[in-house]
Amino acid sequence: MTRGFFRRHAEPADGNRLPPGQYLERGFPVLSAGPTPRVPTERWDFAVYGAVASELRWTWDEFHQLPRESITKDIHCVTSWSKFDTGWEGVSVDTILDGVELQGGFAVAECDGGYTTNLQLDDLTGGKAWVVDTYDGGPLPPEHGGPARLLVPHLYFWKSAKWVRRLRITERNEPGFWETLGYHDRGDPWQEQRYAGD
């Protein structure tokens, strides 16, 4: 115990809006496992492949022909900061998977720079997940995952994979980058699922 030391951010929770162990952050911290990739939109594409009947692929222009949504959500990072009312625009994963014959119940998000994270399809569908390219009214900056990132706000933010390029559907759960290092497979902030075994 350190005399006179207290955590910086003792904000009272806004009703029940802060999950356990989280504090409200005014900024938008950047945390990365590697250098920021810089992919020009002319070279960007997004694909769904793996345990599917046939693969789907969109160029940047094709991606922008898909129906888009505006999303405002709270986000929660496993390192304890939360940010309320973050504003994004993009395409719902339900739209992306519309018409795709899925042959597996899991997915791995694969990203420029090599980052991966695993998700259950249950957590990606039903209006819970998007591929977003706009933040706070402007193009998603590279350090925050631009050109496009996955957004899965009901789970800890390491699941909202930056620089996402592929959704690989899998028959079995395949733990990704942080999950293989001891982080929780699913990551529900409301159950404080930070680490494996929580």
Partner 1 sequence: MPATEWREARVAEVVRETHNAATLVLDVPSWPGHRAGQHVDVRLVDPADGYEARRSYSIASAPADGLSITVERLEDGEVSPWFVDVARAGDMFGLRGPFGGWFVWDAPLGGPLLLIAGGSGLVPLMSMLRHRRNAHSQVEARLLVSVRGPDEVLYANELPTTGAELVFTYTRATPEGWSGYARRVDRAILADVAYPPDAGARTYVCGPTAFVETVANELVALGHDPANIRTERFGATGGG
Partner 2 sequence: MTHLDGNMAAGPLGDVFAREVTTAVATCAACGSAGPLGGAMVYGETMGTIVRCVACEQVLLRFAETPGGIRLDMRGIDVLAWDA
Residues that bind partner 2 (CB under 8 A): 30-36, 78-79, 114, 143, 158, 177-178, 180-183, 194-197
The continuous run of DSSP H or E covering 82 comes out as strand 81-92
Q: Which is nearer to partner 2, 46 or 158 (CB)?
A: 158
**Binding positions for partner 1, rule: CB under 8 A:** 1-9, 29
Task: Give residue 40's Cα distance to chain centre.
Answer: 21
* Cβ-based nearer residue to partner 2, 71 or 184: 184
Which of residues 106 and 183 has its CB atom nearest to partner 2 in the complex? 183
Comparing CB distances to partner 2, the nearer of 63 and 177 is 177
**Cα 28 from Cα 86, distance rounded (Å):** 10
Sheet order of strands, 164-170 included: 56-59, 45-50, 164-170, 106-111, 116-120
Q: Using CB distances below 5 to 8 A depending on partner kind, what does residue 1 bind out of partner 2, partner 1, none?
A: partner 1
Work out how close the CB of 70 gets to partner 1 at its nearest, in angstroms, rounded to a whole number: 30
Which does residue 181 bind out of partner 2, partner 1, none, counting CB within 5 to 8 angstroms by kind? partner 2
DSSP 3-state assignment of 130?
Answer: strand
143 binds, among partner 1, partner 2, none (CB under 5 to 8 A by kind): partner 2
Q: Which is nearer to partner 2, 32 or 125 (CB)?
A: 32
From the DSSP assignment, how many helices (H) and strands (E) are in the chain? 3, 11
Nearest to residue 25, comparing CAs of 71, 89, 79? 79
Other CB atoms within 10 Å distance of the CB of residue 146 = 23
The site partner of 178 among partner 2, partner 1, none (C-beta below 5 to 8 Å per kind) is partner 2
- Are the beta carbons of 164 and 46 closer than 8 angstroms? yes
Name the binder of 36 from partner 1, partner 2, none, CB < 5-8 A by kind: partner 2
Distance of closest approach, residue 25 Cβ to partner 1, in angstroms: 11
Q: Residue 94: in which H helix or E strand, if any?
A: helix 93-97
